[in-house]
Amino acid sequence: MFPFRHHLFVCEQKKPEGAPCCSARGSAAVIEALRREIAARDLSGSVAVTPCGSLGLCENGPNLVVYPEGIWYSHVTPADVPEIVSEHLVAGRPVARLVRADEGALRSEIAQNRARALAAQRAREVAGAVPDDLSDLLRGFMPSRILLTALELDLFTAVDGCPPPGTAQAVAGRLGTSPRATRVLLDALVALGLLVKGEGGYQNGPAAGRWLVAGKPDDAGAALRHNLSLWRTWSTLTEVVRRGGPAPQAEMAARPDDWTVPFIAAMHRNATLRAPALVRAVGVSGVRRLLDVGGGSAAYSIAFARESPSLEAEVLDLPTVIPIARQHIEEAGLASRVRTRAGDLGRDALGEGYDLVLLSAICHMLGPDGNRDLFRRVRAALSPGGRVVIHDHVMADDRTSPRAGALFAVNMLVGTPAGGTYTEAEYRGWLSDCGFAEVKRLPLPGPSDLMVGTRPTGG
């Protein structure tokens, strides 16, 4: 059984609503409880937990199997997990009250369930039924719009502020909304797992209570509200495809705070998570001066400055963004080494004498000509031997993967005149054309990578 002493397979198959399955009976909570308990007991090196498809015991879930013993458990709840871990995985004593010990009955039940599943599958094929995954894809906007409306109303904060549990009437009173419509929205959020409904009313579920309530330590509401802007632009996709580009929009510098603040908050949250990996990949050796072009909240400049006490950074961004960057810089205690400059990356000179120029989440906003122009100005801003670092989606040659990049290209189609996502070959060609040498790709965890080019020391 190398490398694990025990391997647990837990059914997590999802079926159409109303059909018996482990996921509908709470298998996700069982999996999470197992992972927490195994980590708490320092067993992660010897016990593996793997979510899997149907184990064939759908009416008796959640189900799991423990190997190498081949012990089958049914009707497992999160409350059973500490006992399974301590008794079975540690002490070697299976929990008898949950074990499916009758092998003949077990095989018969699995065979019956599989026969029913195959019959239902054949019937759907004959009828030409639309597959569930296609239906789910088409209706994916429904839960998205429900959550976006809740965010727009700040509903989760209102629920948190009601004497528990909050009634629909009380929540509507806080929001200034229709009681009937609010009740319908609250019930839908319960169905989505974001709220919990009891006899007296509604409470936030774990995820909503942690990330969607204003003022909580992990409040992500401001960043997530950027999706409201995306909803509006994505709703124009059909017309954009017909005419080849978006309708005229206000320049970013002229957009109101209700667009800029959520946008920068979303970028800050993402950048804060990715900055450590980016800094490690790029390194700070030989970097005294950094220019962060379109640096937004200054998250990357702050990370570089923290890594090297001798490094000074400058964030270039629009006048509407600079106050947000300054706030983050001051909160980080780095105002003496991370400075800001108002400017337009699309047309302004970038300065000179920098050892490193960072273009994070910038190139996708521009078309090929815009990127070439930017790379020329970046080269002029670098000292000989200095590097440009591009952090963005880097697409496969056929532009269909990574999936996140293919979808993001649509985001640029509806939101910019010429933006898109680009291949490694395109970045290499543009950088070479603009006088960069030693062009290379550095992979990062997640949906985006780095392209790095060096200004030759002789020019």
CB 100, CB 72: distance < 8 Å: yes
Alpha-helix runs per DSSP H in 214-344? 221-224, 226-234, 237-243, 257-282, 299-307, 322-331
Share of the chain above pLDDT 90, in %: 85
pLDDT in tens, 246-279: 988 777 667 777 778 888 888 898 899 999 999 9
Residues 334 and 441 in one domain: yes
Residues 298 and 405 in one domain: yes
Residues 311 and 263 in one domain: yes
- What are the respective helix, strand and coil percentages of the chain, to the nearest 5? 50, 15, 35
Residues 104 and 147 in one domain: no
Distance CA 108, CA 56 (A): 10
The average confidence (pLDDT) of the chain is: 94
**Full domain range(s) for residue 41:** 6-108
Residues 161 and 304 in one domain: no
pLDDT of 434 > 90? The answer is yes
CATH number, residue 51: 3.40.30.10
pTM for this model (two decimals): 0.84
**Residue closest to 246 by CA, chosen among 419, 423, 422:** 419
Q: Establish if 241 belongs to a structural domain.
A: no
Q: How far is CA 97 from CA 51, 68, 323, in A?
A: 23, 20, 62
pLDDT number for residue 253: 67
- DSSP, collapsed to helix, strand or coil, labels residue 421 as coil
CB 269, CB 220: distance < 8 Å: yes
Q: Give me 97's structure tokens.
A: 């009250």
Q: Establish if 294 belongs to a structural domain.
A: yes
Average pLDDT over every residue of 122-129: 90
CB 334, CB 367: distance < 8 Å: no
Choosing from 88, 226, 268, 364, which is the catalytic residue? 364
Q: What is the CA radius of gyration of the chain?
A: 27
Known catalytic membership, residue 6: no
CATH number, residue 421: 3.40.50.150
- DSSP, collapsed to helix, strand or coil, labels residue 212 as coil
Average pLDDT over every residue of 377-400: 97
pLDDT in tens, 37-87: 999 999 999 999 999 999 999 999 899 999 999 999 999 999 999 999 999
pLDDT number for residue 120: 87
Looking at per-residue pLDDT, the higher value among 251 and 399 belongs to 399
Distance CA 268, CA 298 (A): 8
Q: Establish if 127 belongs to a structural domain.
A: no
Q: How many domains does the chain have?
A: 3
Average pLDDT over every residue of 332-353: 96
Q: Establish if 128 belongs to a structural domain.
A: no
Residues 369 and 259 in one domain: yes
Residues 213 and 348 in one domain: no
pLDDT number for residue 164: 81
Average pLDDT over every residue of 287-309: 97
Q: Establish if 377 belongs to a structural domain.
A: yes
Distance CA 368, CA 380 (A): 19
Looking at per-residue pLDDT, the higher value among 407 and 129 belongs to 407
**Residue closest to 49 by CA, chosen among 7, 92, 85:** 7
Residues 203 and 264 in one domain: no
Average pLDDT over every residue of 143-154: 97
Residue with tokens 């890594």: 307
Its sign, for the CA torsion 302, 308, 312, 313, is negative
Residues 295 and 410 in one domain: yes
Q: Establish if 167 belongs to a structural domain.
A: yes
pLDDT in tens, 446-458: 999 999 999 999 7
Residues 36 and 162 in one domain: no
Q: Establish if 120 belongs to a structural domain.
A: no
pLDDT of 1 > 60? The answer is no
